[in-house]
Structures are given as C-alpha cells and as structure tokens.
Chains A and B, each alone.
Chain A
Amino acid sequence: MQFGNAASENVAGRFKFRDVNGDGVINSKDLSVIGNPHPKFNYGLNVNLNYKNFGLTLFGQGVQGNQIFNYVKYWTDFPTFAGNRSTRMLCQSWRPGATDAILPQLRSSDQVSIQPSTYYLESGSYFRLKNVQLTYQLPQALLSRLKLGNTSVYVQGQNLLTATKYSGMDPEINLRNYSAGNDRQIGVDGGSYPVAKTVLVGLNLSF
C-alpha cells in the first residue's frame, strides 16, 4: 500500500507509509503526530577541581529523550533543487542487490519520498561539554618579586565535545521561524547554524 500513484509508488525500493486510519489508502487522512521535541529531562554538570596551583572547571549540559525533525535531509537526501547531496544518498539508497537501504531508489523526479515522515526523525539527545577551563595560579614567591597581586594564566575551551547520535550539524537547535506570521517551530532543524568551538588563552593580572 503506497502513497500516490500506484504504478510508480507500489514497487520495491520505495518508502512504505503506514495506513494510520486503516482505510486501505495512503493519503492526507493518515497524517499523525510524529516525534516529540520535548526532552524527558535536561541536566547540567559543574565540576570544580583544585590541586596546588592548578584549577580545573568543567561545565557540561545535555538533554535526554527528545527528537529532532532533521529537515535538512529534505535538501541533502532527496532530489530537491540542484545542489550537494549526502553520502547517505550515494551509498544507502535502495538498488537491486542492495535492498537493505535507508533511502528509496534514486529517481530523477520524486515528490513522494520527500513528504514529512519518520525518516526525518532522529534522537535529539546530546551531552555537550560547554566549557572547560584549566587555570594555573602563578606562585606567590614569583608574584611578590614582580610586585604583582594574584595572577593566573588559563586555557579555556568552549563546546569542545558533543556526545550525540544526531546526524545533523548541531543537536542544540533553536526555535525555527519559517517566515513572518508563521508559527515558530520547536524541534525542527531547518538548517540552524551550529555553535562554534572556541579555544581561548587568557591571563588574569592584578596589581
């Protein structure tokens, strides 16, 4: 049972859509809510370690149990406009002999596979090390000789590590505002700009 034109859709190598209302036809009556943008819980982690003149602070944050509608795949995994494609499309599309695929058989015109479906849904859980800072406090003996107050040097890294299974650029997506007057959409990744990794080297001087 397939969405749309039976001759082109009721063949091997196409997505199977679920007949949600069980009427034997796949159409817009089978639309249903898929996925949940709300995490089961948010959590954070703060660690502060000091040893002799060294100090280490860690801040991590994560969400667990939400899903993201990875709408970027509309552009990368399907023949939408002309442009760059994902390696998924190259290597994991259905073809005779490679039927254990995640994507349908490639064809030049395909308006059916791109319909919103669970294909776009992915786990949005992640844990991200937002901040790491290693500080070295210069020894008092040295400082008094230089006539300085408390002085430290540090190395700081932001967003260095992200643990996630999400395949998009960044699981930490913001609300998506499609265009003026439209509802803001939560949990839809329409190509949100990813956060930057930052490394800072610093010096704290006091006189």
Chain B
Amino acid sequence: MKKITIITLVLCVAIASACSDKFLDVQPKAALAVSTLQNKVGVNSLLIGAYSLLDGWATAEGAYRSYQVGADNWVYGSVASDDAYKGTIAGDQPPISLIEQGNIQSDNIYFRGKRRGMYDGIARTNDVLQALAATTDVTDAERQQIIAEARFLRGHYHFELKKMFNMVPYIDEKIYNPNDLESTKMPNNEDIWPKIVADLKAAYDVLPTKQTQVGRPTKWAAGAELAKSYLFQKKFTEAKPLLDAIVASGQYKLMDKFHDNFRAVMNNNTESIFEVQYSVNDGAAGGENGNIGSTLNYPYGGGGVTTCCGFFQPSQNLVNAFKTDGTGLPLMDTFNATDVTSDQGIESTQPFTPYAGTVDPRLDWTVGRRGVQFLDWGVHPGKAYVRDQAYGGPYSPKKHVMYRSDVGTNTFAGNPRLNANNYRMIRYDHVLLWLAEVEAEVGDLEKARGYVNQIRKRAANPDGFVVNPNGKPAANYVISQYTAPWTDRAVALKAVRFEQRLEFAMEGHRRFDLVRWGIAEPTLNAYYAAEAKKRQYLTGVQFTKGKHEYFPIPLQEILNSKKGSTETLTQNPGY
C-alpha cells in the first residue's frame, strides 16, 4: 500500500513537471506581437509610426479620409474661415460645403475623420511608451529621448483635437489598453490644456537643440508648440520666454525670400522649426506619404500644372486683404470696400486687364490669379485653370503646389498631386509674429512693431517678387515697414493679427486664430454678409457665438462611447 502511494506520488510529480501548459500558448506567426517590439529597434519603429500620423492618414479606408485629416487643416482652418472657399463645383464633397456654409452638424463625416486620425496618432504614441517601458536594451539617454519625442507628438495630436473640438478626453499610456476596447471610453468633462502643456513641457526639457535626423522635433520645436498652446490659452507671459529663447538660440533665420518656404527643394530650411515630412517614391505603393490630404487642391483644367480637382480656392476677401495703400501698408479697415479686379466671368481667350493697384507681394505667392506667373508653370490663364468659376471664383491655391521642375523628383510617379512639398507646421516667422502678438498683448508695443517689420522687410525683398515672363514684377508690388511708433495697444494688436493673416494665409490657421483672438463672430459674420454678393451660397450664413467656436463632437463617436447604455462623451454646447 505504501509502495503504491509512493509510485503514485512520483508519477504525479513526474507528470506535473514533465509537462506544462505552455504548449497551448503558441505565438501567432505572420503577426506582430507586442513583445516582438519591446526592444530598441521595435520601439523606434513604433515611434516612426507615431510620426506617420502627422499627415493624419494611415488606414486602409481609402484616400477618401485623407482629405478630412490633412496636416494643413485646409478645411477647418481655411475653408471654414474668410480665407478660402471649398471651390471646385457645388456637388463635389458636399460635407465641406456644409462646413463652409456654417451648416455644422455632428454627423458630418469630416469631423469624425479628423478626430479618428488624431486619436490614431495618440494610440501610436502610447504604444511607443508602453513598449518602451518593457524594453531593456536602450540607454537611459535614448529612453529619455524616445519618451520626449513621443510626448511631443502626443501633445501635438491632443492640441489638434483641442482647437477643433475643445472638450475632448486626454488619453495617455496609463489609460490606453490596446486589449480593452472600453479603456479609452473616457469622459470629455475636463479642460485638457494642462495635460497638453505637461507633454510639451516634458519634450521641451529633454529634446536636444539639434537633431541628427530631419523631421524629428528639436527643443525649439517643442518650445514653439508649447508657446503656441499658451497663446491659445491667452497665457502670454508664459509664452514669451519660450519664444525669446528660440530667437536667442540664433539657430533660425528668415529665408531671404518668402516663397522659399513653399517649395519642395527648400524643405527643412533654416526658417523651418517643425515640418510634416512628405516623401514620394519611397516604397509606399500609392504615394501615400506625399501630402495626400491636399490631393484635391490643384488647378483643374487648362494644361500646365492642371490635374485635379479644383478645390481650395482663395476668397475675394483674402485677395483684397493684400491691398496696400500708397505707402505700402495694409488697409486694415477698408481693404474689403472695393475688390481687387479679377477675371470673374471672363473667358481665358478674352482680354483681361489685371489689377493695377498696389498690393503686397505675398499675394502672388499665396493666390494663383490670371496674368501672374504660376510658379514655373507659366502665366495663370484664369478661367481655364478653374473648374467652375461661377461657383468657386477666379482664384487658385498656390503655397502647397509643386513646381514643374519637381515633377519626377519630388512628385509621385504618375500622380504629381502626391508630392514632397512639406507642410511647414511651425516656422521662424511664426515665432516672430507670435512674439509680436505677445508684446502687443502684454509687453512693449515698439518691440511688437520691430518683429512685424522683420516680417515685412523680408516680404519687401524685390528678389522675392513674382516675375512674369517679360522680366517685370507680375503686379504693382508696394510694401513697406511700419515707420510710425505704435502707441495704441488695440491698433498694434490689429496690425499684428493682420500680419499673421497675410503671412500664413491658406495654411489652415485662420479660423483657429480668429477663435483664439475672440473675434471670430464679428469677422466671419461680416465676411459672410459681404462675400455672399460674390458667392450666393453664403447668403444668410451665421457664425453663432458660444457655439461655432468649436466643432461638434462627431455623433458616431458619441454613440460609440457608450458604456452599457450611457454615453461617455458629451456634445459641445449648441449642437
């Protein structure tokens, strides 16, 4: 009996030790397990993936969503402002028209596209941080650097959501659990500015002043982004030292010519502080890394640059804003009283006399218009470049457009609309004009004037004027610096804001700037009333104060946020 007991025991022990249930856990083949990425190479690859969402687009949903989420925010920042029309024809991409016409509804697919793109980016930054925590083969310095870059990106993605939707949940690596779909169902009941600031500050404290690889943020990029977030919070005194430090670093300077900021061959120049890197012919089968968010925004017909699809046409109001008085200063109050003459209603084959009045030379690097050299594509022929002039007006976008000389080298084979002309998210001219804004708000008005004059001096460089094939400047360019001292804070502030509009027009900032300045309602309602005379579809459009400062939380996301039967997300006021 005792023997049997011993044998049984031995057998039990033998069975227990000989065989574990490990064989039941087979790692899937041909799939990337999280553990595979918990090392230096894996984490760095995840980090590149997190950068990749800067253009908002990385999913298999087709190019369609890319327009909703392009880095330059052309729909939300520019079309939804007084800078641009949707353009093209009435019936193409109607959801953009609804936004342009102030018919802003929570079920508009554009808002959901933007939101998903940004939260995809946030998820990727959290993947980096989670994988890094389980990684051992990195040095402490490398670890700090990876954390800093991931937090820069996470701060940026949340910043994008904040300026779009205001009340959004902040998702960090402690909340985010890729194995639990419920984990990110967080309420949007708190102001996430402090968390955005914490991320950007953490990046600022650690990032080096120079990076060995282009495209990665430097300390100054993080500082500029952090300062920008302070401007949005009206914390001017907090923004000032960050911006001053960038100037003091001496690392950046304005390019001699304004338009050097808008050419692929001038990517990552000394004015650039942070650029969204586009690339082509890099192995991405569909050219997806080549500014796919702007792929609709090129002239439509008439030969030359023309491909597709005629979207994103500058407004008459924007063109008028570039008018200058006889001394070369902007007409801040009266610019829209009369129009810069255009070829509206005139066939390309009919004669047209261009506007002879004085204009800021930046106009013709921002707007394509008849009679003016269009990059290196020849003189803009007017109506022939425009898909439906009666609907979308006579102008074409210009800043992001590729040059003829870029075709083949900086454009995707077969589709030049996918090209490597980077989006300059933050430039040194931003820093200078933000400093001007800070000084005009809380500091020294004369310093503000000095910063604005630096910008205007560069714009006035005659080497940077658009020149027509006859060798002469394409228009009557007259621009000068503010010579009279600034003594009135309100006037100074107006001038600074006006300068920002001119310098950054068509770059997706305008509506967000108007909102943060608190002048969106009067500015846009005046715009709608006046512009409706040219674009009839703007008749009766209203910006409602207290509502339209922010876009609505996408309806589908509210439905998806349900825990049980309770919605976690709350809709913004007024929607």
Q: Quick check: A111 and B97 within 8 Å, CB to CB?
A: yes
Q: Quick check: B61 and A181 within 8 Å, CB to CB?
A: yes
Q: Quick check: A28 and B105 within 8 Å, CB to CB?
A: yes
Q: Quick check: A8 and B555 within 8 Å, CB to CB?
A: no
Q: Which of B94, B536, B540, B575 contacts A5 (CB 8 A)?
A: B540
Most chain A CB inside 10 Å of its own CB: which residue of B90, B102, B542, B575: B90
Knowing A82-B89, A109-B391, A179-B61 touch, does A8 contact B94 (C-beta < 8 A)? Answer: no
Q: Is B347 an interface residue (CB 8 A)?
A: no
Using Cβ atoms and an 8 Å threshold, which residues of chain A touch B575? 27-28
Cβ contacts A67-105/B at 8 Å (1 or 0 each) = 000000000001111100000000000000000000000
Using Cβ atoms and an 8 Å threshold, which residues of chain A touch B537? 8, 108-109
User: A159 to chain B: closest CB distance in Å?
Assistant: 33
Cα-based distance from A170 to B539 in the complex (angstroms): 40
Counting chain B residues whose Cβ lies within 8 A of the other chain, the interface size class is 20 to 34
Q: Quick check: B541 and A109 within 8 Å, CB to CB?
A: no
Chain B 504-551 interface residues, beta-carbon cutoff 8 Å to A: 536-537, 539-542
Cα-based distance from A8 to B90 in the complex (angstroms): 15
Q: Which of A28, A114, A179 contacts B94 (CB 8 A)?
A: A114
Q: Quick check: B103 and A81 within 8 Å, CB to CB?
A: no
User: A1 to chain B: closest CB distance in Å?
Assistant: 15
User: A87 to chain B: closest CB distance in Å?
Assistant: 19
Q: Quick check: B107 and A111 within 8 Å, CB to CB?
A: no
Using Cβ atoms and an 8 Å threshold, which residues of chain A touch B327? none
Q: Quick check: B91 and A180 within 8 Å, CB to CB?
A: no
Q: Is the interface of A mostly helix, strand, loop or mixed?
A: loop
Q: Quick check: B107 and A5 within 8 Å, CB to CB?
A: no
Q: Quick check: B61 and A31 within 8 Å, CB to CB?
A: no
Cα-based distance from A6 to B102 in the complex (angstroms): 11
Cα-based distance from A182 to B62 in the complex (angstroms): 11
Using Cβ atoms and an 8 Å threshold, which residues of chain A touch B91? 78-82
Using Cβ atoms and an 8 Å threshold, which residues of chain B touch A194? none
Q: Is A205 an interface residue (CB 8 A)?
A: no
Q: Is B491 an interface residue (CB 8 A)?
A: no
Cβ contacts A2-16/B at 8 Å (1 or 0 each) = 011111100000000
Q: Quick check: B62 and A179 within 8 Å, CB to CB?
A: yes
A-B contact list, 10 entries, CB within 8 Å: A4-B101, A5-B103, A7-B539, A28-B575, A31-B555, A81-B89, A108-B537, A109-B97, A111-B95, A114-B94
A-side interface residues toward B, CB under 8 Å? Answer: 3-8, 27-28, 31, 78-82, 108-112, 114, 179-182
